[in-house]
Structure 1
Amino acid sequence: MKKWTWIWVLLLFCQCGKSSRILHQIQASFPEKISLTVYNPLDQARVDAPVIFELGKLKTKCPKFNEKAFVVFADGKEIPSQKIDRNGDGSPDAILAITDFKSKESKQLTLYFSETGEMPREYPKRTQAEISHKVGGEFRNHKYYGGQFQNVQFLRVPKEHTDHSEFIRYEGPGWESDKIGYRLYLDWRNAIDIFGKRLPDLVLHHVGLDGFESYHHMADWGMDILKVGEALGIGALGFWDGTKVHRVSKTDSVTCAILASGPLFSKIRLHYHGWAIPSEKIHVTSDLSIWAGSRMTHHEIQVSKDISTLCTGIVKHDSAKVFYSENPRGEWAYLALYGKQSLAGDQLGMAIVYPLKHFVKLAQDSVNYVVVLKSLGGYLDYYFLSAWEQEPGGIRTEKAFLKYVENVVNCLDTPLWIAY
């Protein structure tokens, strides 16, 4: 026993020595530092928790902080980080870091930086966003012939484009984490679909290269797992007229931009100019973002005038059970479905998590379970999520799914505390 104790001590000493050398190397390149305390007030652990440092507050604390040359350390180790642009104005306004927290844990995060220069760091890529359309061919009668797919950062949707035009790869923009993938039909349907993943690898850049049909069949990476039909799918924007949902179908023009496709965070922006809702037209900006280790998409919406009957929802399937928040105690609530509702014939959970300040009522029509929401100051946001049982280490029971959704609500109600 004494022999094994000495071996353990020696290994620990070697590991500590290695960590110390790495830290000294970091400090040589990034000699300045800011240390901040981050506290998890919840009585539950957080895995892959997003920690967002506002650049304005960092520079108030330390005016010489340089967001072009920094690294983030926690527990004596470098953790992945990424500059992000939350408002989409083209300039970074925050730093996102991803780390784990135990229940009630307080953790010191240190940002080492150099006052001058640019020293970007590279981390394993755990998210991506993309849009890819054909070039080199031509439209004939709303169908695109010839050409090859090319990824772009921006697309103004051609007037000739409609559903099944075979112009846009998998019919619209896609975004994914290491847990799940989503796509939006960038045509009159404007619904959101789910790519179930059997691998943590990023896969969207391989999907749909061989046509529209392939991803409806099981592959090594997974498949399209949601039958959307005439519904919103999951989390798409709509208008509630009192009896049914109107999707974002009739518009003057639509554009799509990839605002971020980074290792930890990816974001898509859609502009709908002249969306025709009953009695008027409005302009809409829709931002869809995802971060590493998360099944959730954050949907942020700006409208040209406040509307009290906007909505989102989840497609109805007879095989799924419906759940709602019962007597929510905080600022967030949920609508959830769970059951054998995937196109693979197995268990799929879906949920909308919405802020009560925007909530109007729950409703339904023939194809959707609906959350009616109102914008405030021209703004509205909510989250949507899905959990497929074939995801590696995935959620496989109704009880586990509902616990997961409740944990998501708890995390939104009780965010991390950052002491600047």
Structure 2
Amino acid sequence: MGKKNKLMAIAFCLSLLIGLASCQSHSEKYDLELTISNPSSVNLNEKPVIIPREQLGEIKEGNLEVLLIRNGQDTLPSQRTDRDGDGSWDELFFLLDLPGNSAETIFLKWVDEAPQWEERTYVRFGVRPSEADTVSPAKKDTFYPDELPGVMGYQPYQTDGPSWENDKVGFRHYLDGRNSKDVFGKKISGMSPRNVGISENGVTEDNYHVMEAWGRDILSVGTSVGIGGYALMIKDKLARLGVTQKDSLNNVVATTFEILANGPIRSLMQFNYQNWKPENTGRTYQVNEETQIWPGFYGYKNSVTFHQLKGDETGLIGLVNINTDKQVRGMEVGGFQILYTHDKQTYEKEWYLGLALIIPKEVYQGWIEAPEEGQIMDSFLAKVQIHEGRPLDYYAIAAWELSDPRFARENYFKTYLEDLAAQLEVKPIIEISPM
């Protein structure tokens, strides 16, 4: 055997030994092998991957953290989520880029302590228990019918209720009885300050309608339900969940809000509306709402479940139209119906803002425009089929030109919606093997 051939043989043997050692070290180092496949031709960017805890097999005793390794060396941010609020985590959540028709193998290791990941989502919620108190951070609170700000003389909630954000956009929910959804436009990818909505004296204050380095509140909501807020149409009458700012008594006996997960890559909230009694109907409903956000897209996901339906109700999802004279536009992408507007529809019509709803086609039943008078105004309202005890899932989108200058162009916003809907529809295939 020549010298060159001997060297090649030695190199082959060394590579074989290294390969065997690598396989052995993997089996010793990791607990599970996860194979995530993209069965579509759509390129997936920061696609949420959710794995129920029970699919991960037996877990050792203790509050063990999860470490995910890709490419044999790179750690992948992940988050354990207590989805049902019982104090024990029940889902593993992470984000993954997957080109069309591809698969990636990720190794899982149970560890005592995981890295501190960059905060890319966050829920801000503060409560002022009385007019004599200052605002304190809270994870849970219940709002009662006689606690309307106009009755008590002060606003009990920081930013009028919880606000949530990712690296692209922020939203807030009027927990003070109005139950509308508003938009915080963001100019930075980092999280906005914790003290937004709090004065120097520590009390609630509307200080977020002025431009700051991070952004500001950009949407006028009025008597609409905002972007992604919802209501019922009972026969042919609109019924608002809650009240408007001029009312003195809420029509919901108790509204309970709770933060179930607060970052770093997934924030999850729950709203429970106990005994909602729409005016002049003689009816009582129970409503559960789950709102979540993850990084990388200009929106949030909502899931609403109605109880004690009579069968003659239609769900309504709002798309505020206070600052636009343009008609709502619609398009279908795969299994989704998209309704959107694009205009200078921020305060004072100063900046371009694209607003959209992404709704499963199987429940979509057209749209109506809210009347000029009543409990719900200034809105395009998507009509959707609802069922007793069955969650209604949809997405609400808000894309501001100061977040990305390209959103000043309607065609760019439209293309963004088409691509987003195509990605949202894809369901990755997950295979789990012990090592």
| Residue 349 (1) aligns with residue 338 (2) | no
Per-residue Cα deviation, 1:147-167 (whole angstroms, up to 9, x for no partner) = 211011111114442246322
Among 100, 114, 138, the alignment partner of 1:152 is: 138
| Residue 419 (1) aligns with residue 434 (2) | no
Deviation (angstroms), 1:89: 4.2
Per-residue Cα deviation, 1:128-181 (whole angstroms, up to 9, x for no partner) = 11320114xx4xxxxxx3321101111111444224632211111111111111
Deviation (angstroms), 1:82: 0.2
Match of 2:42, as an amino acid? Q
Report what 2:9 is aligned to. Answer: none
Deviation (angstroms), 1:33: 2.5
Separation in 2 of the partners of 1:147 and 1:370? 39
Separation in 1 of the partners of 2:366 and 2:64? 45
Among 369, 389, 394, the alignment partner of 1:378 is: 389
Q: For residues 69 and 190 of structure 1, do their structure 2 counterparts lie closer, same or farther at Cα, with a shift above 3 Å needed?
A: closer
Among 325, 329, 352, the alignment partner of 1:323 is: 329
Report what 1:57 is aligned to. Answer: 55
Report what 2:257 is aligned to. Answer: 256
Deviates more, 1:289-298 or 1:194-203: 289-298
Structure 1 counterpart SS, 2:296: coil
Report what 2:290 is aligned to. Answer: 287
Deviates more, 1:373-382 or 1:317-326: 317-326
| Residue 269 (1) aligns with residue 270 (2) | yes
Deviates more, 1:294-303 or 1:219-228: 294-303
Among 115, 123, 126, the alignment partner of 1:129 is: 123
Is contact 1:387–1:394 with CA below 8 Å preserved after alignment? Answer: no
Structure 2 counterpart SS, 1:325: strand
Report what 2:245 is aligned to. Answer: none
Structure 2 counterpart SS, 1:214: coil
Is contact 1:175–1:182 with CA below 8 Å preserved after alignment? Answer: yes
Report what 1:8 is aligned to. Answer: none
Per-residue Cα deviation, 1:366-417 (whole angstroms, up to 9, x for no partner) = 3211112233341222111111111157633211111111122212322222
Deviation (angstroms), 1:287: 1.0
Separation in 1 of the partners of 2:414 and 2:60? 42
Among 197, 200, 206, the alignment partner of 2:189 is: 200
Report what 1:300 is aligned to. Answer: 303
| Number of aligned residue pairs | 380
Is contact 1:37–1:106 with CA below 8 Å preserved after alignment? Answer: yes
Deviates more, 1:405-414 or 1:316-325: 316-325
Among 159, 164, 167, the alignment partner of 1:178 is: 167
Q: For residues 74 and 32 of structure 1, do their structure 2 counterparts lie closer, same or farther at Cα, with a shift above 3 Å needed?
A: closer
Among 104, 108, 113, the alignment partner of 1:119 is: 113
Separation in 2 of the partners of 1:32 and 1:260? 27
Per-residue Cα deviation, 1:213-255 (whole angstroms, up to 9, x for no partner) = 3211111111101100010111012112465643211111111
**Identical columns (%):** 26
Report what 2:316 is aligned to. Answer: 311
Is contact 2:256–2:272 with CA below 8 Å preserved after alignment? Answer: yes
5+ long unaligned stretches in structure 1: 1-22, 139-144
Is contact 2:284–2:308 with CA below 8 Å preserved after alignment? Answer: no
Q: For residues 88 and 406 of structure 1, do their structure 2 counterparts lie closer, same or farther at Cα, with a shift above 3 Å needed?
A: farther
Structure 1 counterpart SS, 2:362: helix
Is contact 1:359–1:373 with CA below 8 Å preserved after alignment? Answer: yes
| Residue 335 (1) aligns with residue 329 (2) | no
Q: For residues 198 and 232 of structure 1, do their structure 2 counterparts lie closer, same or farther at Cα, with a shift above 3 Å needed?
A: same
Separation in 2 of the partners of 1:68 and 1:321? 53
Structure 1 counterpart SS, 2:277: strand
Q: Which has the larger radius of gyration?
A: 2
Separation in 1 of the partners of 2:328 and 2:155? 35
Separation in 1 of the partners of 2:39 and 2:223? 42
Separation in 2 of the partners of 1:392 and 1:109? 33
Structure 2 counterpart SS, 1:148: coil
Is contact 1:351–1:384 with CA below 8 Å preserved after alignment? Answer: yes
Deviation (angstroms), 1:88: 4.1
Separation in 2 of the partners of 1:253 and 1:224? 27
Report what 1:16 is aligned to. Answer: none
Structure 1 counterpart SS, 2:194: helix
Which structure has the higher relative contact order (CA within 8 Å, separation 6+)? Answer: 2
Among 61, 76, 81, the alignment partner of 1:79 is: 76
Deviation (angstroms), 1:360: 3.0
Deviation (angstroms), 1:345: 1.1
TM-score, L = length of structure 1: 0.83
Q: For residues 88 and 269 of structure 1, do their structure 2 counterparts lie closer, same or farther at Cα, with a shift above 3 Å needed?
A: same
Separation in 2 of the partners of 1:65 and 1:91? 14
Report what 2:93 is aligned to. Answer: 96
Q: For residues 292 and 365 of structure 1, do their structure 2 counterparts lie closer, same or farther at Cα, with a shift above 3 Å needed?
A: same
Separation in 1 of the partners of 2:237 and 2:406? 34
